[in-house]
């Protein structure tokens, strides 16, 4: 795979993860456990969508397309489902707040590591976005950690959190799955190491956070086959994309 | 500094002189209850407004657009958060008691949030027409509000509501200049939301309205309602939309729009929690609250410091909000 194509795939996977994670946060505003949490989740959601927008802009840069709202939205919303490069963890649809919190912690832990990999990227704009994003990620992690510190100490809440971890855990490996073309992107100096190299540190961070529990006793190796280098979508994706596109599809010629 | 008023006449003279009452003042109980009920309803309405908008946030057409909409709804819930704290300081109910009363259908919120946003056009109509109505009301309260903590919070709320209204106006303009389908969608939204937005101001103020006498409100409902009509009727018409008021007429003598007779029955139904979407809205809010009770229980030791989890298991008090 050529370097430019590899770079595009690499950025797209990053952007799609951020986009869908931000999208998942938007579902919680107004229905989180208390008002402060409504406010926090909407801030974090805005940050993730903002990262997605900046990363999509970099993809448009590569294509020589000006990053207008229309061009950005065409890239963010108008691809066929097989054209997306997100992982299944961010596609996962849940109305369980414990699962949402555990995913938030895992995703942001991974995301901080991922931004570190590109902090010295040969793409100056990406390195600059990484510096901004890393500052925000520190707040995201602090937010999730503060909640987990307390919830893991309370017996009933601990059970719920570990049960949620069990539900989300099989999707963790896919978070670290690279796209086809990542090697080409790396030889172009895009990132300091492969996304796959984050899997072991992420596992260690999860064990340090949640302890060694039955929930994470068995690591699954099957997910990489299901994601197929992030080219295959989970069952949750199509309904999610449909929901995101509902207004856009109402009148494809419209500007909103 | 401790202050006191020997009689209600002294207290009212203090208010008439432009005095500001603070949370730790020994205010007359009737005043305390009236201010509390007014702020509680405002807080409830900010929260329920956020819930009305959340139905459409995930579907917002556009990535940057979604960030703006998310920020707006975050502001609304942030207003609710601030207002619940101001209300709780009055010592009538804790924040949790107010929320539990709201989710049990025991307290009130503005009529407009008893309706469902059924299209994206409704979301824009809310951001434009409803936020404008709320802004006009809040500006009038702020102007001469006798309760200091509320007045100070309103300064911030009004600044943010101004941004929301401009966001709504910008989105409405895109639709007005857009395709036939977009314009039709917004016309249908206008048909649904014009009257509820107008009714937000309430029927004409009673002559003995204590909210006016105690300078909680500074202007009569009908004056505020008319201000909204004179501003938005010509604006909507200039964009080519039709006002859904068949009896509306232009008064050539006063140079004002008269929308004709107002049917107050829909407003009364919402006040009795019998609006078109009241039961779903309250049921779903109560469901979310109940499904996450385990979180509040686990965090109760930390949350009680700021009143969040005080009396988590409590079933609320007897007073109902409303104004």
What pLDDT was estimated at residue B208?
Answer: 92
What pLDDT was estimated at residue A94?
Answer: 97
Residue with tokens 């001469």: B144
Class of residue A26 by CB neighbours under 10 A (exposed 0-12, middle 13-18, buried 19+): buried
Residues facing residue B250 across a β-bridge: B257
Please tell me the pTM assigned to this model.
0.93
Testing the interface with B: which of A56, A156, A163, A254 to mutate, by most B Cβ within 10 A? A254
If you ran DSSP here, which 8-state letter would residue A31 be given? Answer: T
Phi-psi region of B307 (alpha: psi -120 to 50; beta: other; left: phi over 0): left
Angle between helices B278-291 and B293-303 (to 10 degrees): 60
Q: Using alpha carbons only, what angle is made at residue B20 by residues B18 and B21, rounded to the nearest 5 degrees?
A: 135
Which of A47 and A217 is assigned the larger pLDDT? A47
Domains and CATH numbers, chain B: 27-295 (1.20.1260.10)
Q: Which of A30, A50, A256 sits opposite B65 (nearest CB)?
A: A256
Cα-based distances in Å from A70 to A20, A46, A55, B23, B111: 19, 19, 15, 50, 36
If you ran DSSP here, which 8-state letter would residue B249 be given? Answer: E
What pLDDT was estimated at residue B273?
Answer: 95
* CB contact (8 A) between residue B77 and residue A39: yes
Contact A176, A196 (CB under 8 A): yes
Testing the interface with A: which of B176, B181, B186, B295 to mutate, by most A Cβ within 10 A? B295
Give the tens place of pLDDT for each residue, A163-172: 999 999 999 9
What pLDDT was estimated at residue B91?
Answer: 97
Task: Print burial letters for A159-197: b (CB count within 10 Å at least 16), e (below 16).
Answer: ebbbbbbbbbbbbbbbbbbbbbbbebbbebebbeeebee
Query: How many alpha carbons lie under 13 Å from residue A123 in its C-beta half-sphere?
Result: 27
* CB contact (8 A) between residue B63 and residue A39: no
Does the CB of A254 have a partner CB in chain B at under 8 Å?
yes
Cα-based distances in Å from B277 to B272, B284, B288: 12, 11, 17
What pLDDT was estimated at residue B221?
Answer: 97
Closest of A200, A202, A196 to residue A176, by C-alpha: A196
Other beta carbons within 10 Å of A135: 10
Query: How far, in whole angstroms, is CA B236 from its chain's centroid?
Result: 22
Q: Which of B57, B84, B120 sits opposite A29 (nearest CB)?
A: B57
Instruction: Copy the structure tokens of residue B323.
Output: 């104004």
Residue with tokens 């924040």: B95
Mean pLDDT of A152-181: 94
Q: Which of B57, B285, B296 sits opposite A33 (nearest CB)?
A: B296
Q: Which of B77, B181, B291 sits opposite A29 (nearest CB)?
A: B77
Give B298 to chain A, closest Cα distance, Å. 6
* CB contact (8 A) between residue A250 and residue B181: yes
If you ran DSSP here, which 8-state letter would residue A171 be given? Answer: G
What pLDDT was estimated at residue B1?
Answer: 56
Listed by start position, the domains of chain A span 3-250
What pLDDT was estimated at residue A217?
Answer: 53
d(CA A77, CA A15): 12
d(CA A137, CA A47): 9
* DSSP state string for B36-78: HHHHHHHHHHHHHHHHHHHTTGGG-SSHHHHHHHHHHHHHHHH
Q: What is the pLDDT along chain B (323 residues), one digit of tens a residue?
A: 568 999 999 999 999 999 999 999 999 999 999 999 999 999 999 999 999 999 999 999 999 999 999 999 999 999 999 999 999 999 999 999 999 999 999 999 999 999 999 999 999 999 999 999 999 999 999 999 999 999 999 999 999 999 998 999 999 999 999 999 999 999 999 999 999 999 999 999 999 999 999 999 999 999 999 999 999 999 999 999 999 999 999 999 999 999 999 999 999 999 999 999 999 999 999 999 999 999 999 998 776 544 444 433 333 333 333 33
Closest of B120, B58, B64 to residue A76, by C-alpha: B64
d(CA A251, CA B240): 20
3 state SS of A142 = helix
Would you tell me which CATH number, out of the four given (1.20.1260.10, 1.10.443.10, 3.30.465.10, 3.40.50.1220), belongs to the domain A3-250? 1.20.1260.10
Task: Print burial letters for B112-139: b (CB count within 10 Å at least 16), e (below 16).
Answer: bbbbebebbbbbbbbbbbbbbbbbbbbb
């Amino acid at each position: 795979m050529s370097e430019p194509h590899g770079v595009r795939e690499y950025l797209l996977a990053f952007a799609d993860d951020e986009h869908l994670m931000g999208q998942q946060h938007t579902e919680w505003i107004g229905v989180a456990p208390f008002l402060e949490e409504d406010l926090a989740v909407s801030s974090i959601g805005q940050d993730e969508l903002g990262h997605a927008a900046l990363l999509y802009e970099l993809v448009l840069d590569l294509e020589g397309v000006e990053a207008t709202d229309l061009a950005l939205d065409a890239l963010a919303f108008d691809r066929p489902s097989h054209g997306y490069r997100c992982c299944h963890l961010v596609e996962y649809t849940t109305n369980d707040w414990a699962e949402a919190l555990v995913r938030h912690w895992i995703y942001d832990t991974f995301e901080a590591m991922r931004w570190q990999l590109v902090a010295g990227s040969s793409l100056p704009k990406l390195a600059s976005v990484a510096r901004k994003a890393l500052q925000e990620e520190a707040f995201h992690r602090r937010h999730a950690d503060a909640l987990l510190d307390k919830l893991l100490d309370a017996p009933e809440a601990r059970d719920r959190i570990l049960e949620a971890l069990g539900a989300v855990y099989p999707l963790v490996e896919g978070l670290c799955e690279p796209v086809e073309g990542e090697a080409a992107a790396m030889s172009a100096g895009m990132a300091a190491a492969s996304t796959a190299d984050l899997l072991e540190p992420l596992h260690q961070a999860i064990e340090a956070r949640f302890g060694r529990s039955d929930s994470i006793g068995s690591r699954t190796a099957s997910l990489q086959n299901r994601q197929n280098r992030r080219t295959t979508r989970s069952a949750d994706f199509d309904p999610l994309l449909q929901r995101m596109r509902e207004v856009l599809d109402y009148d494809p010629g419209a500007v909103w | 500094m401790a202050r006191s008023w020997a009689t209600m006449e002294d207290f009212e003279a203090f208010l008439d002189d432009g005095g500001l009452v603070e949370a730790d003042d020994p205010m007359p109980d009737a005043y305390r209850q009236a201010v509390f009920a007014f702020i509680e309803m405002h807080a409830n309405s900010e929260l329920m407004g956020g819930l009305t908008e959340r139905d459409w946030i995930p579907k917002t057409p556009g990535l940057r657009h979604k960030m703006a909409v998310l920020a707006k709804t975050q502001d609304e819930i942030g207003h609710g958060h601030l207002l619940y704290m101001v209300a709780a300081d009055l010592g009538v109910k804790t924040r949790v008691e107010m929320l539990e009363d709201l989710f049990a259908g025991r307290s009130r919120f503005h009529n407009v949030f008893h309706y469902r946003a059924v299209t994206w056009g409704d979301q824009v109509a809310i951001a434009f027409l409803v936020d404008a109505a709320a802004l006009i009301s809040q500006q009038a309260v702020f102007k001469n509000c006798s309760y200091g903590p509320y007045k100070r919070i309103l300064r911030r709320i009004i600044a943010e509501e101004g941004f929301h209204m401009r966001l709504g106006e910008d989105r409405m303009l895109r639709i007005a200049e857009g395709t036939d389908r977009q314009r039709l969608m917004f016309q249908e939204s206008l048909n649904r939301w014009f009257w509820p937005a107008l009714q937000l101001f309430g029927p004409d103020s009673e002559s003995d309205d204590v909210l006016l006498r105690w300078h909680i409100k500074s202007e009569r409902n009908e004056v505020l309602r008319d201000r909204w009509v004179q501003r938005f009727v010509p604006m909507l018409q200039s964009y080519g939309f039709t006002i859904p008021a068949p009896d509306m007429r232009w008064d050539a003598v006063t140079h004002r729009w008269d929308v004709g007779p107002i049917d107050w029955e829909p407003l009364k139904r919402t006040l009795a929690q019998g609006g078109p979407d009241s039961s779903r809205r309250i049921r779903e809010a109560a469901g979310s609250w109940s499904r996450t009770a385990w979180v509040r229980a686990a965090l109760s030791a930390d949350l009680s410091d700021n009143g969040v989890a005080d009396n988590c298991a409590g079933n609320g008090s007897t007073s109902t909000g409303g104004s």
